[in-house]
Amino acid sequence: MGVVACGSDDNSSSGSSGSSSSSSSGGGKTVKVYSSLPLQGASREQSLDVVDGIKLALKQHGGKAGDITVDYESLDDSTAAAGQWDAAQTKSNARKVAQDDSAIAYIGEFNSGASANSIPTLNEAGILQVSPSNTALGLTKSGDGAAPGEPDKYYPTGKRTYGRVVPIDTIQGAAQAQYMKDEGVTSVYILNDNEVYGKGVSANTKTAVEAIGINVAGEDSWDGEAANYRALASKIKDSGADAVFTGGIIDKNAPQLYKDLHAAMPTAKLFGPDGVADPAFTAELPDDVQKFTYLTAPTVSPDELPPAGQKFYKDFEAEYGTKPADIAPYAVYGYEAMDDVLSSIEKGGDNRQAVVDAFFSIKDKDSVLGKYSIDPDGDTTLTTYGAYLAKGGDLVFNKALKAQVPGS
């Protein structure tokens, strides 16, 4: 039974704002699953691949979860004016879904800062929310890297309704530290973009690099609206650091930041987290900058995945005509998020609380990502991160990183 897409605004993907998919067989119960992702700006291509992963999972389930028909609608949490996710738009999406009596689950957001805006509304409505890409620690856990009041302030009901299928930033920070150590870094300057995600991943990375003996030469933030970063780059150069970590997202003028850092420090290694691990980012970097760029993302090379994961890439290519090397890292996480949602609906039916409970009861699931469970906070037990390089304007897999989180 096929998935029918409608409402696309162009021919580049079926994942445009307001597009919907359904597979109705007539009779029986029907529920609605929404996604909310930035379909404009630098993260557009990543998000479109996530949407395609979601649709592939739904199609492979015959458009149903058990005997319940599942309708799907893709929402855009970005605006043309912002050029990225927008707080007001994200909140509007969450309200739209919360007010839909047929809504049973919500896949999103792509950015951790956006989820900080949507989780409370969806939590009050008791709707399961699964992110395919959020890594900020404070959305689910307190501690180093979480802001005051996190995570409790996101859950007004006192119950958890949000989870994710990607490893959190304590794990990414440890992976970054290991990557730096492997590349011979002795002193790193740590930057963040002043957003929820950027601040968190920078704090987690700082803890991890200090734990393995790498010196932190200094900390600062960058203004995503600035025309250039020459003064900041000069300041970092004077610190004597031989590497810079940039905790933030591509939408915050990250390509310009990397260009200016490299111009001031031609031999310094530039490390970035999953917020910039995007072909749209590497494509904007000159060749000389790419040679010193090192990135991490939760996903690994298709051949590093279990058989189910390798099959996903073959199925994705067959469905969309896109080769694995050209598929953005988060497509497989979009697929897995929807797969979790569908299995939770199959167990919980059209009862929102039962669906939430089913997601939180996931244990030792054999998936496209490998075997994992969901912990009581809503986090996956997966711990592997991929190390990437920038080559020829592309994001190129280097190796898998299985680093030890400090204190664990």
Does 4-167+302-377 match 169-297+386-401 in CATH topology? yes
CA distance 269 to 121: 41
Sorting pLDDT into bands at 50, 70 and 90, what band is 17? very low
Residue 361 has pLDDT above 50, yes or no: yes
Task: Determine contact, residues 155/120, Cβ cutoff 8 Å.
Answer: yes
Where exactly are the structural domains of the chain?
A: 4-167+302-377, 169-297+386-401
Whether 12 has a pLDDT exceeding 60, the answer reads no
Buried b (16+ CB within 10 A) or exposed e, 288-306: ebbebbbbbbbbbbbeebe
Given a cut of 80, is residue 100 above it in pLDDT? yes
CB 222 within 8 A of CB 248: yes
Lowest-confidence range among 14-28, 57-71, 223-237? Answer: 14-28
Q: Residue 316 corresponds to which tokens in the numbers above?
A: 């994705």
**Whether pLDDT at 24 is above 70:** no
Q: With contact defined as beta carbons under 8 Å apart, do 405 and 141 qualify?
A: no
Candidate ranges 13-17, 121-125, 133-137, 276-280; pick with highest mean pLDDT? 121-125
Which H/E stretch holds residue 386?
strand 385-391
pLDDT at 34 over 50: yes
Average pLDDT over residues 361-383: 97
Mean pLDDT of the chain: 91
pLDDT the model gives residue 403? 74
Residue 232 tokens read as 């900041």
Average pLDDT over residues 238-262: 97
Helical H segments across 215-306, by residue range: 230-238, 254-264, 279-282, 287-290
pLDDT at site 9: 34
Mean pLDDT value across residues 148-160: 97
pLDDT at 407: 63
CATH number assigned to the domain with residue range 4-167+302-377, chosen from the 4 options 3.10.450.50, 3.40.50.2300, 3.20.20.10, 3.30.70.100: 3.40.50.2300
Range from 148-152, 315-319, 320-324 carrying the lowest mean pLDDT? 320-324
Options 3.40.50.2300, 3.40.605.10, 3.40.1390.10, 1.10.10.60; which CATH number does 169-297+386-401 get?
Answer: 3.40.50.2300
Cβ-in-10-Å burial (0-12, 13-18, 19+) of 218 comes to middle
pLDDT tens-place string over residues 193-214:
999 899 999 999 999 999 999 9
Nearest to 88 by CA among 73, 76, 100: 76
Percent of the chain clearing pLDDT 90 (strictly above)? 84
pLDDT at position 20: 55
Residue 300: what pLDDT?
Answer: 87
